[in-house]
Structure 1
């Protein structure tokens, strides 16, 4: 007979609190059987899907989960603490940090929340948004931009609200944002391709202008369903698609070429430029494009879950990967990974003896 056990599910809504963050649809019947000697479940818990990761300049790691809210680690993932007091939507899709000030969280249906880096309680700052689903953030010179299902917004601190940036994207989902060194704002959309907004002749404080219109670049980008975007130091643009691989432009978006040949998976979840190379997180692992060799290299040693949801790099060079069940860290450029999921997610407390 199979092993049978009963468990209490423990969720946490904030420091020092134990109110449940378990979503209503979470069913105990969906939990697989556990055995005390099961090494894969040695943490006596289930780690959530880590949809977004961000690292502050001083090395503090924030992990945004899908259904369990936000977790913070001040020791490179060795331990985690939940930070969810005041966060009414625990389904996080994106994070952004203004060093020394705030962390911003974009959610699936609750808009945007903000937390002081030394604080413990979130505040909702969704005023001005026309869409509660927030897919992406961009921080430039302490200005926060948000990509939503109704275009791009900018946070105006003096007015305590979000204002629309440009025109033409009011009904378009924007899952990725980036900015060039000349101030050109790039918006990767789902279904409409890449757009850019010329802003080099105006300071950021005056970008909210009804005459500013997002312009579709040359029709050489063959894939319109985009998911992520990144720009490296050489101003090369990288675009990750939902299921069409990755494309790059070395001439600021005027022409595009595919880097997807021999890439094992075409679902691109995150892009991390690394000098002349680029590292991508996919639905089936992490890979590095070696520019000097013109080929992809596998970077999955130590990963026990290849369904990668997010990838980021710290100022010190560590890589952090979020998967569909927990997080991993690499201290050697992705050659080897260590599971750092201890403390993430739901704690399972045995209710009675195993039978």
Structure 2
């Protein structure tokens, strides 16, 4: 049973190679599960247990067998640098944040992707988070945070209280509804 999954660098600081590995909670040995020589920036798991890996220059990969085999699922992607992945409603919708082409959405388990950028004025999307109500937050490079209340069809800036031009590396939704943003120069913000 797969209980924990991560990507880790094969070489320190700035390397373009990463390994995809898995281990159980009680395991101490990591086992490489494929995607050799692929720099993996993001991972996500849907409600069916399908794994998705967003890669730096290789788009998105999907595994339906706990990482034993992977297939590229890039139909509709116009950018192959994927920094963030998020799953909504158990996998009914998948979202991918890209380097310069904004957010892509899939409604068919990654088989195809549609670009969703209306109102997204900064399209270098480094992080994504979705709250239980389905509001999507996109953290950008130098543009702060954007929010969508309609599954990515439209976006609006959500930067009240953030330092101007913030780089948002990570976003998390707390169970109490608070949103946390990790930034490159000003620490953590909460909304």
Q: TM-score, normalised by structure 1?
A: 0.41
For 1:100 and 1:65, locate their aligned partners in 2 and report how far apart those are by CA, in whole Å.
19
Q: How many residues align?
A: 154
Partner-residue secondary structure (3-state), 1:161: coil
1:65-100 Cα distance to aligned partner (Å, 9 max, x none): 100110101011111111101101000101001124
Gaps of 5+ in 1: 1-42, 198-355
For 1:119 and 1:184, locate their aligned partners in 2 and report how far apart those are by CA, in whole Å.
29
Relative to structure 1, is the Cα distance of residues 181 and 78 closer, same or farther in structure 2, using a 3 angstrom cutoff?
closer
Asked whether 1:71 is paired with 2:61, we answer yes
For 1:159 and 1:60, locate their aligned partners in 2 and report how far apart those are by CA, in whole Å.
22
Q: CA RMSD in A?
A: 2.1
Residues 74-89 of structure 1 mapped to structure 2, 5 A cutoff: 74-89=64-79
Relative to structure 1, is the Cα distance of residues 131 and 184 closer, same or farther in structure 2, using a 3 angstrom cutoff?
same
1:286-323 Cα distance to aligned partner (Å, 9 max, x none): xxxxxxxxxxxxxxxxxxxxxxxxxxxxxxxxxxxxxx
Partner-residue secondary structure (3-state), 1:93: strand
| Aligned counterpart, 1:177 | 171
Partner-residue secondary structure (3-state), 1:175: strand
1:204-231 Cα distance to aligned partner (Å, 9 max, x none): xxxxxxxxxxxxxxxxxxxxxxxxxxxx
For 1:78 and 1:159, locate their aligned partners in 2 and report how far apart those are by CA, in whole Å.
32
Residues 212-223 of structure 1 mapped to structure 2, 5 A cutoff: none
Question: Residue 165 of structure 1: CA displacement?
Answer: 1.9
Question: Residue 180 of structure 1: CA displacement?
Answer: 2.9
1:44-70 Cα distance to aligned partner (Å, 9 max, x none): x96310111111122100011100110
Partner-residue secondary structure (3-state), 1:54: strand
CA contact (8 A) 2:60 2:74 kept: yes
> Moved runs in structure 1, 4+ residues, more than 3 A?
none
1:234-285 Cα distance to aligned partner (Å, 9 max, x none): xxxxxxxxxxxxxxxxxxxxxxxxxxxxxxxxxxxxxxxxxxxxxxxxxxxx
Partner-residue secondary structure (3-state), 2:155: strand
CA contact (8 A) 1:156 1:163 kept: no
Asked whether 1:131 is paired with 2:131, we answer no
Q: TM-score, normalised by structure 2?
A: 0.73
| Aligned counterpart, 2:93 | 102
Larger radius of gyration: 1
Partner-residue secondary structure (3-state), 2:168: coil
Partner-residue secondary structure (3-state), 1:88: coil
